[in-house]
Amino acid sequence: MNDNSSVGSGDPGRVRDRAFVRIGVLALQGAFREHRAALERSGAVVVEVRRPEHLVGLEGLVIPGGESSTIVKLMRSYGLDSAITAFAAAGGAVWGTCAGAIVVATHIDAFPDQPRLGLIDVAVARNAYGRQVASFEAAVAVVGWDQPFRAVFIRAPRITSIGPGVEVLARHAGDPVAVTSGTITATVFHPELGGDDRWHAAFVQRCADVAQARGSVAPST
């Protein structure tokens, strides 16, 4: 994993050209305001995405936690499901957190017919870490980071299998809790809670690399 471009790098000091990075947060349901604040603290220009045209000009998109089936129903009603799939196919970075990780997965255990985007080759089990009353925090080691991240698990899904080409960035009790493949990332916890912005800073870095590859920003000197 490349520390300068991967979501696993997490060092805000490494983020380059961040003033030119435009990142969307899907703002249909869930903790999108907290994600917006963390991305802005990390130097990005943030757009709340509610319609397909809001994706234009973005380098990345965060799909926040909430209720996965509700998120997808709302996405479909606005035509955002196909728009986000096209956005990812064109090289845009997408990061799904908690319920967003379910939305981007290719398979949902016990709910094979639940609509999803299928952007990263993983299977997930909904609410596998317990209900709301079973929420917990845990320190997880992240590949490439010197210090662990305090992850907040709230009705979190469990990643039950990963496909070839999917890299595990962090584990809890042996299970993957953060994975990435290409420009797609999924974390089953809530990185926007707790005041540690390293995941958001690293995503801003990844989006800066997307912008540079597209020629949206000049390389750093």
Residue 5: inside a domain, yes or no?
A: no
Neighbouring C-beta atoms of residue 71, cutoff 10 Å = 26
Residue 201: inside a domain, yes or no?
A: yes
Residue 197: inside a domain, yes or no?
A: yes
- The answer to whether the predicted template modeling score (pTM) of the entire model surpasses 0.95 is no
Alpha helices in 57-181 (DSSP H): 68-78, 80-89, 99-104
Q: From the candidates 98, 172, 200, 207, which is the catalytic residue? A: 98
Residues 135-194 pLDDT 10s: 899 999 999 999 999 999 998 999 999 999 999 999 999 999 999 999 999 999 999 998
165: Cβ–Cβ under 8 A, 6 or more apart, which residues?
Answer: 121, 181, 182
Q: From the candidates 35, 54, 172, 190, which is the catalytic residue? A: 190
Residue 220: inside a domain, yes or no?
A: no
Q: From the candidates 54, 59, 172, 192, which is the catalytic residue? A: 192
Number of structural domains, the chain?
Answer: 1
Residue 65: inside a domain, yes or no?
A: yes
User: Would you say 26 and 62 are in contact if contact means Cβ atoms under 8 Å apart?
Assistant: yes
**Is residue 217 very low, low, confident or very high in pLDDT (cuts 50, 70, 90)?**
low
134: Cβ–Cβ under 8 A, 6 or more apart, which residues?
Answer: none
Q: Supply the CATH number for residue 143's domain.
A: 3.40.50.880
98 catalytic residue (yes or no): yes
